[in-house]
Structure 1
Amino acid sequence: MDENNEELYCIGCGAKIQSDDPTQPGYTPESAIKKGLESEGLYCQRCFRLRHYNEVSDVSLTDDDFLALLNQIGSADALIVNVVDVFDFNGSLIPGIHRFVGNNPVLMVANKEDLLPRSLKRSKLKDWVRQRANAEGIHPVDVIMTSATKQHALKDLLKAIEKYRKGRDVYVVGVTNVGKSTLINQIIKNSTGMQDLITTSRFPGTTLDKIEIPLDDGKMIVDTPGIIHKDQMAHYLSAKELRLATPQKEVRPKVYQLASGQTLFFGGLARFDLIAGPAQRNGVTVYMENNLQIHRTKLEKADDLFSRHQGGLLQPPTTKELEQFPPLERFEFKIREKSDIVFEGLGWVTVKEGTIVAGYAPKGVGVLRRKAMI
């Protein structure tokens, strides 16, 4: 802030200027505050990038704002485009969204599919995403697999939006870290007539800022602020640690031959136990970030190893992040057919039938079984 500690506000969106947290409304680097005051035009970083580069960046919502946003969406007559992360489906679902969308159709966009192995059939994953959505009370009119960073299936997405919106506005919603803003930016770049036409306005009756991208028929694509989901692995890690933990490139399978009573640690984030298997050596295949450190040990030594080395030998998280990192929660599975044990936000381990296994993840982060995708 300036020397007088005067409260400053963005002249674009009205958010209170702050320099502490880039994910929160009103963030502006200290150096930009001084320049803005000298030029008598102080914008937060988000509005500055929007104004000068037509580039959308995400901000996070508090719980109260989140409820206000859902109420606004529920009262609109619009197509809802719900962006989720294929590596973190449960963690990227908006809590309670099925109760708020009303009669509005939902088009589900499963982002980051470029990180999946090429051997994984996309049709299988698409079916799984639809099944998981249905189980959560969401019944999407369609599921589009895409990669915002690589622009995969972007034209398919634009066609689907046009098909299902039927002359209505489009609301794009998602939790933080799913790539929603990257996707919006690609839509802007790939849609003619949208350059220099982005506007901002408030959701009625709230302090929430929305970004509007005009469509040819006068309707809007409305980009909404990102919603924090506390059951995301990403919620417990810094940006630097997140890059070490979550897939950045197409994941390469790693095969381990495990005897009964052996454990794999995925950094200090998660754990996999092969409790019992039908063979002397049982092959399991790990699909996670290629650079994530994996440590093997005996099950009987695993608890002691973890308590002594989480944050050191077993990282991420680092010792600095251990204070806010929750304890691991255990999930046990009896495997009757070839299955994937999915660690939400990290990836999965493929195991053969006839085994008994357990998966551990930070409390609140899901571990679930699905029929093997590969």
Structure 2
Amino acid sequence: MAVFCTGCGVKLQSENPGQPGYVPVSALEREQVICQRCFRIKHYNDLTPVPMDNDEFIHILHRIGEARALVVKIVDLFDFNGSWLPGLMRFVNFNPVVLVVNKTDLFPRVNWVRIEQWVRRQAKEGGLKPVDVVFCSAEKGTGIQALMKSIEQHRQGGDVYVVGATNVGKSTLINQILKQAGAEKAPVLTTSRFPGTTLDMIKIPLDDGQALYDTPGVINDHQMAHYVASEDLKVILPNKPLKPKVYQLNPRQTLFFGGLARLDFASGERQSFVCYMSNELPVHRTKLEKADELYSKHLGGMLSPPGNESLKEWGPLDQHTFSLKDELCDIVFSGLGWVAVKGTGARLTAYAPKGAGVYVRPSMI
């Protein structure tokens, strides 16, 4: 009989230490068994990357569409665009969707009514019509009771599937639900700051005979986390409330975000550029005519991250030019954060690694 890791869901094996699911034979006798990879994540914060096949995610989504179930879709409010799963409604069929907006603990004092309106507009434009929108912090445990109430109301006796992009906090959220529901004997799912921690579906029985399923994170390749080594994740992924950095820029000035991204203010009226990024990420301002030289001389030094491991495969940055019309808008670097600008009449050029997402959206805050 197959045994599965209670931490990440992968099928366990004792034959090949270099393959996913490895565990010593002696450990298989325990009531709850975690694989060696999960053990190292939990105790040493050390992740062994495991390539994932997007076809497996498609298969899981088809399975959800064939079931009578509630879909709990989680997005990361800090990386809303990067963690959005486009086309989800095509797969879930007519199953209801509760949209969970996670990581609210990272935000400073904001108008939450306005942000909820913004989220609902973005969801509608993304083709999603959720039956409910719940804001929470899986890390801090806030909003979990409201989410549990919403799940019970909308699942109507069916199963629950928790879906989302990598690193949105699915497993942390489920652990909070189990904790606040008093499920002391339930398995503790493996969580980490690394994308791709959960490797297969994890089934958690519910009291009425149905189940809650944690699913592997869908890989959105345009997120910045997929372009840097693990040594840089602790810098670009915030774990404390954001402290916006405000820069008054004249035309022909440039902002560098470490060496990961760059924003040129080519033309327009002098205005404020408000940066919402990890507090650990250094921001450097320079004149546009000096920007290329600064980048070539100081990449990996003053302009870091990227660190040594990321630099091994670091190529030139792609550029994206925007002529802004909206009064207030955000220039988004997927997975890195965003810069709020006044917008009207400004011409900006944003730089990011090739393949990383760069967008303009209506201002969130």
Q: TM-score when scaled to structure 2? A: 0.82
Q: Is the 8 A contact 1:78 1:105 kept in 2?
A: yes
- SS state of the match for residue 234, structure 1? helix
Q: CA deviation at 1:76?
A: 1.1
- C-alpha spacing 1:60/1:182, structure 2 compared with 1 (3 Å): farther
The 1-side partners of 2:76 and 2:128 are apart by 16
Letter in 1 for 2:283: I
The 1-side partners of 2:288 and 2:17 are apart by 46
Letter in 2 for 1:315: S
- C-alpha spacing 1:244/1:197, structure 2 compared with 1 (3 Å): closer
Tell me which residue corresponds to 1:101.
92
Tell me which residue corresponds to 1:117.
108
Q: Is the 8 A contact 2:250 2:269 kept in 1?
A: no
Q: Percent identity?
A: 50
The 2-side partners of 1:171 and 1:37 are apart by 27
- C-alpha spacing 1:27/1:314, structure 2 compared with 1 (3 Å): farther
Q: Does 1:26 align with 2:21?
A: yes
Q: Is the 8 A contact 1:199 1:211 kept in 2?
A: no
Tell me which residue corresponds to 2:11.
14
Root-mean-square deviation (CA, aligned residues, Å) is 3.0
- C-alpha spacing 1:76/1:271, structure 2 compared with 1 (3 Å): same
- In structure 1, stretches of 5+ residues that fail to align are 1-8, 50-57, 201-207
Q: CA deviation at 1:168?
A: 1.2
Letter in 2 for 1:154: I
Q: Does 1:236 align with 2:227?
A: yes
Deviation string for 1:318-354 (max 9, x for gaps)?
1321233454332313244022222221222121243
> Residue 178 of structure 1: which of 147, 168, 173 is its match?
168
Tell me which residue corresponds to 1:190.
180
Q: CA deviation at 1:316?
A: 0.9
Tell me which residue corresponds to 1:168.
158
Tell me which residue corresponds to 2:116.
126
Tell me which residue corresponds to 2:349.
358
The 2-side partners of 1:37 and 1:109 are apart by 35
> Residue 61 of structure 2: which of 54, 70, 90 is its match?
70
Q: Does 1:148 align with 2:131?
A: no
Tell me which residue corresponds to 2:299.
310
Deviation string for 1:165-220 (max 9, x for gaps)?
1111110112221111110100110113x3325599xxxxxxx8432223232221
Q: Is the 8 A contact 1:213 1:220 kept in 2?
A: yes
The 2-side partners of 1:10 and 1:219 are apart by 20
Give 1:269-284 correspondences, 5 Å limit: 269-279=260-270, 282-284=271-273
- C-alpha spacing 1:189/1:373, structure 2 compared with 1 (3 Å): same
Q: CA deviation at 1:104?
A: 0.8
Tell me which residue corresponds to 1:286.
275
Q: Is the 8 A contact 2:200 2:216 kept in 1?
A: yes
- C-alpha spacing 1:27/1:227, structure 2 compared with 1 (3 Å): farther
Tell me which residue corresponds to 2:195.
none
> Residue 212 of structure 1: which of 179, 203, 210 is its match?
203
Q: Is the 8 A contact 1:87 1:344 kept in 2?
A: no
- In structure 2, stretches of 5+ residues that fail to align are 41-48, 190-198
Q: Is the 8 A contact 1:275 1:358 kept in 2?
A: yes
- C-alpha spacing 1:215/1:314, structure 2 compared with 1 (3 Å): same
Tell me which residue corresponds to 1:87.
78
Q: Is the 8 A contact 2:86 2:126 kept in 1?
A: no
Q: TM-score when scaled to structure 1? A: 0.81
The 1-side partners of 2:69 and 2:3 are apart by 29
Q: Is the 8 A contact 1:197 1:213 kept in 2?
A: yes
Tell me which residue corresponds to 1:224.
215
